[in-house]
A = this chain, B = another copy of it.
Amino acid sequence: MYILVTNDDGIDSPGISALVAAMRPLGDVVVVAPDRQQSAVGHALTVSSPLRATPFHRDGVPFGYAINGTPADCVKLAVSTLLPRRPDVVVSGINHGSNTSVNALYSGTVSAATEGTLMGIPSIAFSLSSFDVSSDMSLAADVAHDIVSRLHSLAIPAGTLLNVNIPDVDRSLYKGLRITRQGRSAWRDHYERRNDPHGREYFWLHGEFVTLEVLDDADDLAVAQGYTAITPLHYELTNVDMLTPLREAIAGS
């Protein structure tokens, strides 16, 4: 397998290092990742400035290319231009922090997998449910290895990606894999108003995560229970149920 690894925490993060180590036994690994933290970038692309690809070393050994762009940029540039051949799979992560529920919409980790999917390549996003950069990645790395090694049997259809969220639990409490759906949750946001030393006002984002509807098979619930949540996501955004009512409303008014 030819495996493209990327992330949104930056090419120097512990999470991508753990993911690369987990992928190496499965095939040829190439790393093309952002040169810095790109969290909450959504599915952003760099269109009005040039991209650069800089060889990046870890511990004196060539590790991959650092890109001055977003996770989606990395996948587009790698697949279309940098790589000598098309990857068999795009893996993104391991993200520090879970990307369940509504977070999938904001996540750079998921957006890298989205871009791979849009380019027709099976793609998987991996996130660990801990924001602590020193958290133990070994369980998450084993899960990533397990899932990618089953890639063929999972038969992911074109246009669908797997969003994988791994609990931050001790192995003795870990319960295994579960296929889930995206939870129905939201952020209730506040911005804290502050003043800078010059007396000018500025705002810092704060949020509170609220569950809107309890689903038995929601990704966030599974992770809270100690399971790895595997959610198949696709980008068929049309609300098909609304087509007829809207046609009637437009015609009738």
Cβ contact within 8 Å between B252 and A204: no
Q: Does A29 contact B (CB under 8 A)?
A: no
Given A43-B42, A230-B250, A232-B243, are A190 and B238 neighbors across the interface (CB < 8 Å)? no
Q: How many copies does the complex hold?
A: 2
Of residues 196 through 221 on chain A, the ones whose CB sits less than 8 Å from some CB of chain B are: 200-205, 217
| Among A42, A50, A237: residue with most chain B CB under 10 A | A237
A interface residue count range (under 10 / 10 to 19 / 20 to 34 / 35 or more)? 35 or more
Of residues 239 through 253 on chain A, the ones whose CB sits less than 8 Å from some CB of chain B are: 239-240, 242-243, 245-247, 249-250, 252-253
The interface residues of chain A, by DSSP majority, are classed as mixed
Cα(A232)–Cα(B41), bound, Å: 24
Cβ contact within 8 Å between B249 and A189: no
Mask, A35-66, CB within 8 Å of B = 1, is 00101111111111011110000000000000
Q: Does A194 contact B (CB under 8 A)?
A: yes
Closest B residue by C-beta to A202: B50
> Could you jot down 29 A-B contacts, CB within 8 Å?
A37-B48, A39-B47, A40-B44, A40-B45, A41-B41, A42-B42, A42-B45, A44-B106, A50-B194, A50-B202, A52-B201, A76-B205, A77-B203, A80-B189, A102-B118, A105-B235, A153-B249, A153-B253, A155-B249, A157-B239, A179-B246, A179-B247, A181-B240, A182-B236, A232-B238, A232-B242, A232-B246, A234-B239, A235-B237
